[in-house]
């Protein structure tokens, strides 16, 4: 029983990691209809920023967290202005362009850091909750996931900026007619999405190490989470990452990691077959 | 409707990306680097292939192997080459992709007409070359430590076989640490085959296997496995987890409250290249077994590491794979010196039998019969982010591609079935 409880608690950590890795993609994919194949590499950029900040410049981890957001967001803005802006309404070209970008970023990182690098654990140690041992860092990750989710929801639902994005998503031309500068909003939204990917990289860095190859693992998982949750739903992403994260950990507990992965993928395929719009689809006009 | 199309598009792209994940990058123009092309008056240079990835997921290990080959061939040429002829090496990048490996070995053999190739880093890439090697009657020198249970007539295996890493290591662990062993590995052929032998050795030496778990390749969450280790009451963990997953494994191990002081991870599959990413705090107190560690305190080893670091200041470090790739080149050069016509592959392969070389790890020797190499058995305790060698065999150990503990029937036939037996290699 104790093991089962500890598996559930570990599952929370995996869900939180998944959610953090997904949020950035959800905004870029869900709100802007841009399939960002370089999402994984933006996570990598955030992770390398963290590595440079904490291991080389000895900056505290929490400041590195902010830095990784800022740097990746700036990088995202640059990408949007130079590449993505020309390609809205051309999904195939966007995929190719972002895929190319992902390769370029990965190989640059490989040339500079051929080996994977270490980021020190910022909150080492464990706490014991009635016999269940929980790493301190996991608690931090779960709290971060909740904070980021809440902030993003408030940002998009209750601020003027968020409402403008909503309007653009629904009807771009009409919004432009109303005198809203869609182009600036696009850039800022893309930058915010990229910045969230940067935060994901920062949070992953202490547990997985930082390497040029780290992005690809998370690209598939994030797309899966987005699709299961419903493409435009932040709450949906929270639910789907919890289901996938918990599902994987609990199933791994009773069988093993490989089977857990297979079963989760199978469940996702079945779900998409019967509910292609995801669990929390928004009504669209 | 439009949304659906986009999702379908996205889904297919992600699938494609994950399929191509291992070797998503293709370098259209292969790096062609030829060692001193001005042929000496004594004759044309001898062409040799170097087949390692410069891009993709296993490039992390293969970069250093390419470097080792460049270093070795440059040294051999500087010392006069092969009976007066220089070696011209042609490097091809297979981008960590086995399918591309088949293509590249074909190119090396058929277009460049190399006499032999030093290359491949994983079993998957090696196996992708076997058919071509046989059809075109060429030779591959394979440097990576491997799981055995395969001997191809056109391959020389310079890396360790599982018995060379395990027969001394496991009894030591059982005697000095504890009897209850938990086996952890990555979910593919190398760990599973190695663990088969490990289990037999553990039982033979009075130990007990209390659990066995495999994680998918590239796994970054080891919380479940750590939980199972905790429950099992193991005294030690015998690990065949490979590559970058080790970073998460070692970090999770301590994060989830397991203590290397009382229950260490004892691995046959980490190198210096992963060690720094794990970090001193999390690697401390664990054990590793390899034929060579770059911390080896011997003149030949020190000289080798110094030479390497001086020549390549590119962020890579010397590992057992570097050493083995370096030795592979020298063994090939020695074999080439023994034959009259380098293009005579049969004679070249025969020239390898019993060939010796003073490698950085010590004197190694290609077996007289089974194409594997006698290498040392060494193990180390990790301290301060370095491998502190605690045991070193006094001489190289005999390779057993089909380990005697599992296959007593091959004990008297050089630890392998007949050359024409279909189980000898994937046909």
DSSP assignment of chain A: -HHHHHHHHHHHHHHHHHHHHHHHHIIIIIIT----TTHHHHHHHHHHHHHIIIIIS---HHHHHHHHHHHHHHHHHHHHHHTGGGGTT-HHHHHHHHHHHHHHHHHHHHHH--S-B----SS-SEEEETTEEEEHHHHHHHHHHHHHHHHHHHHHHHSHHHHHHHHHHH-HHHHHHTT--HHHHHHHHHHHHHHHHHHHHHHHHHHH-B-TTHHHHHHHHHHHHHHHH-TT-HHHHHHHHHHHHHHHHHHHHHS-HHHHHHHHHHHHHHHHHH-TT-TTPPP--
A283 occurs within a structural domain: no
Instruction: Indicate if B36 and B101 belong to the same structural domain.
Output: yes
A9, part of any domain: yes
Tell whether B420 is covered by a domain. Answer: no
Q: Are both B321 and B356 inside the same structural domain?
A: yes
B 252-271 → A contacts, CB under 8 A: 252, 255-257
Which residues touch B404 (CB under 8 Å, ≥6 apart)?
B163, B410, B411, B415
Determine contact, residues B261/B285, Cβ cutoff 8 Å.
Answer: yes
Asked if the structure places residue A57 within a domain, the reply is yes
State yes or no: pLDDT of B29 exceeds 60. no
CATH number for the domain that contains residue B367: 3.40.50.2300
Q: What is the mean pLDDT of residues A211-229?
A: 89
Instruction: Flag whether A255 is in a domain.
Output: yes
Could you tell me if residue A244 is inside a domain? yes
DSSP state for residue B20 in the 8-state scheme: G
Residue B425 lies in a domain: no
Angle at A92 between CA A180 and CA B21, to 5 degrees: 120
Residue A252, chain B, CB below 8 Å: the answer is yes
Inside any domain, residue A280? no
Task: Provide the pLDDT for residue B297.
Answer: 93
CA distance B32 to chain A (A): 18
Average pLDDT over every residue of A29-47: 92
Q: Calculate how close chain A gets to B15, using CA atoms only, in Å.
A: 8
pLDDT for the residue numbered B422: 87
Q: Using the 3D structure, point to which of B238, B261, B290 is the last residue of a domain.
A: B290
Residue B381 has pLDDT above 70, yes or no: yes
| Range B267-292 average pLDDT | 93
ipTM computed for the complex: 0.89
Which pLDDT belongs to residue B12?
Answer: 63
Same domain as B118, residue B180: no
Say yes or no to pLDDT of B15 above 70: no
Distance between CA B384 and CA B25 in Å, rounded? 36
Residue A9: closest C-alpha in chain B: B223
Final residue before a domain boundary, out of B345, B374, B403: B374
Average pLDDT over residues B190-197: 93
Condensed to tens digits (0 to 9), the pLDDT of residues B51-109 reads: 999 887 788 889 999 999 999 999 999 999 999 899 999 999 998 899 999 999 999 99
- Domain membership of residue B16 (yes or no) is no
Q: Which residues of B18-33 are buried (b: 16+ CB within 10 A; e: fewer)?
A: bebbbbbbebeebeee
pLDDT, residue B6, reads 64
Structural domain of B183: 163-290
Report the pLDDT value the prediction gives residue B239, as an integer from 0 to 100. 96
Give yes or no: residues B173 and B142 share one domain. Answer: no
Please report whether residue A284 resides in a domain.
no
The interface residues of chain B toward chain A in range 143-202, judged by CB-CB distance below 8 A, are 187
Sign, CA torsion B339/B345/B350/B353: positive
B386/A163 Cα distance (integer angstroms)? 55
Based on the domain organization, do B243 and B359 belong to the same domain? no
Share of chain B above pLDDT 90, in %: 77
Residue of B6, B227, B244 with shortest CB distance to A209: B244
The domain boundary residue, chosen from B240, B266, B290 = B290
Mean pLDDT of B310-324: 93
Q: What is the pLDDT of residue A170?
A: 81
For residues B91 and A233, the model is more confident at B91
Q: Is A95–B9 a contact, with Cβ atoms under 8 angstroms apart?
A: yes
> How far is residue B28's CA from residue B306's CA, in Å, rounded to a whole number?
34
Regarding whether B146 and B71 lie in a shared domain, the answer is yes
Domain count, chain A: 1
> Which residue segment(s) compose the domain that A221 sits in?
2-119+131-274
Percent of chain A with pLDDT over 90: 62
Residue A282 is assigned to a structural domain of this protein: no
> Which residues 90-149 of A have a C-beta within 8 angstroms of B?
91-92, 95, 99, 103, 106-107, 110, 112-118, 120-121, 124, 126, 133, 135, 137-138
Please report whether residue B325 resides in a domain.
yes
Averaged pLDDT of chain B:
89
Q: Same structural domain for residues B129 and B179?
A: no
Flag if A208 and B247 touch (Cβ within 8 Å). yes
Is the Cβ pair B24, A29 closer than 8 Å?
A: no
CATH code, domain with A172? 1.10.3470
pLDDT level of residue B21 (50, 70, 90 thresholds): very low
Q: What is the pLDDT of residues A194-203, one digit of tens each?
A: 999 999 999 9
* Interface contact flag, B17 A124, Cβ < 8 Å: no
Q: State how many domains chain B has.
A: 2
Q: Is A152 on the interface with B (CB under 8 A)?
A: no
Contact A51, A202 (CB under 8 A): no
Question: Are A227 and B10 a contacting pair at CB < 8 A?
Answer: yes
| Whether residue B234 sits in one domain with residue B337 | no
Chain B residues with CB under 8 Å of A3 CB are 227, 231
Is residue B347 domain-resident?
Answer: yes
Burial of B41 (0-12, 13-18, 19+ CB in 10 A): exposed
Do residue B155 and residue B174 come from a single domain?
no
Q: A20-24, B59-63, B197-201, B364-368: lowest mean pLDDT where?
A: B59-63
Across the A:B interface, residue pairs with CB atoms under 8 Å apart total: 164
Whether residue B413 is contained in a domain is answered as: no
């Amino acid at each position: 029983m104790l093991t089962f409880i500890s598996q559930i608690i570990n599952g929370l950590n995996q869900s939180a990691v998944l959610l953090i890795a997904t949020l950035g993609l959800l905004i870029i994919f869900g709100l802007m209809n841009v399939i960002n194949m370089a999402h994984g590499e933006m996570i990598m950029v955030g992770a390398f920023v963290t590595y440079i900040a904490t291991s080389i410049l000895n900056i505290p981890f929490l400041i590195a967290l902010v830095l990784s957001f800022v740097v990746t967001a700036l990088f995202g803005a640059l990408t949007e202005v130079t590449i993505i802006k020309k390609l809205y309404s051309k999904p195939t070209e966007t995929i190719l362009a972002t895929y190319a970008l992902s390769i370029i970023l990965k190989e640059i990182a490989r040339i500079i850091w051929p080996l994977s690098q270490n980021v020190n654990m910022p909150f080492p140690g464990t706490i014991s909750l009635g016999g269940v041992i929980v790493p301190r860092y996991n608690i931090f990750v779960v709290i971060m996931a909740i904070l980021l989710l809440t902030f993003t929801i408030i940002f998009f639902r209750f601020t003027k900026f968020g409402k403008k994005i909503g309007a653009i998503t629904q009807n771009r031309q009409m919004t432009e007619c109303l005198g809203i500068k869609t182009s600036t909003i696009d850039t800022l939204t893309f930058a915010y999405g990229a910045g969230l990917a940067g935060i994901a990289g920062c949070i992953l860095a202490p547990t997985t190490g930082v390497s040029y190859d780290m992005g690809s693992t998370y690209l598939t998982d994030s797309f899966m989470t987005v699709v299961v949750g419903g493409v435009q739903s932040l709450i949906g992403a929270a639910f789907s990452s919890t289901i996938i994260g918990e599902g994987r950990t609990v199933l791994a507990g009773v069988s093993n990691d490989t089977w857990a992965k297979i079963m989760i993928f199978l469940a996702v395929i079945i779900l998409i077959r019967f509910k292609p719009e995801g669990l929390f689809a928004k009504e669209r006009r | 409707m439009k949304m659906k199309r986009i999702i379908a598009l996205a889904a297919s792209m992600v699938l494609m990306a994950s399929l191509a994940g291992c070797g998503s990058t293709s370098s259209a123009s292969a790096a062609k680097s030829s060692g001193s092309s001005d042929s000496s008056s004594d004759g044309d240079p001898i062409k040799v292939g170097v087949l390692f990835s410069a891009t993709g997921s296993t490039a992390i290990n293969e970069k250093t192997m390419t470097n080792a080959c460049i270093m070795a061939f440059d040294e051999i040429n500087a010392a006069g080459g092969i009976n007066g002829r220089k070696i011209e090496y042609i490097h091809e990048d297979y981008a960590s992709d086995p399918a591309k490996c088949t293509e590249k070995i074909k190119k090396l053999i058929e277009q460049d007409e190399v006499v032999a190739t030093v290359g491949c880093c994983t079993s998957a890439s090696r196996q992708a070359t076997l058919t071509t090697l046989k059809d075109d009657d060429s030779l591959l020198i394979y440097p990576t430590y491997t799981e055995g249970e395969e001997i191809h007539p056109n391959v020389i295996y310079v890396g360790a076989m599982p018995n060379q890493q395990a027969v001394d290591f496991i009894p030591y662990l059982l005697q000095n640490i504890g009897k209850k062993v938990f086996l952890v590995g990555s979910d593919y052929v190398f760990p599973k085959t190695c663990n088969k032998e490990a289990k037999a050795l553990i039982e033979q030496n009075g130990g007990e296997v209390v659990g066995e778990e495999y994680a998918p390749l590239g796994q970054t969450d080891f919380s479940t496995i750590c939980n199972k280790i905790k429950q099992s009451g193991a005294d030690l963990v015998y690990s065949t987890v490979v590559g970058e997953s080790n970073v998460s494994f070692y970090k999770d191990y301590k994060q989830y409250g397991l203590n290397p002081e009382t229950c260490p991870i004892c691995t046959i599959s980490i190198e210096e290249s992963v060690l720094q990413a794990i970090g001193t705090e999390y690697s401390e107190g664990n054990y590793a077994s390899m034929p060579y560690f770059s911390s080896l305190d011997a003149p030949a080893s020190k000289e080798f590491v110094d030479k390497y670091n001086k020549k390549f200041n590119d962020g890579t470090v010397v590992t057992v794979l570097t050493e083995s790739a370096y030795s592979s080149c020298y063994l090939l050069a020695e074999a080439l010196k023994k034959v009259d016509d380098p293009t005579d592959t049969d004679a070249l392969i025969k020239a390898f039998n019993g060939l010796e070389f003073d490698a950085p790890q010590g004197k190694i020797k290609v077996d007289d019969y089974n194409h594997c190499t006698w290498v040392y058995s060494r193990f180390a305790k990790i301290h301060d982010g370095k491998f502190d060698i605690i045991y070193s065999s006094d001489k190289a150990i005999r390779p057993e591609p089909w380990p005697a503990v599992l296959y007593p029937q091959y004990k008297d036939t050089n630890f392998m079935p007949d050359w024409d037996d279909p189980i000898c290699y994937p046909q």
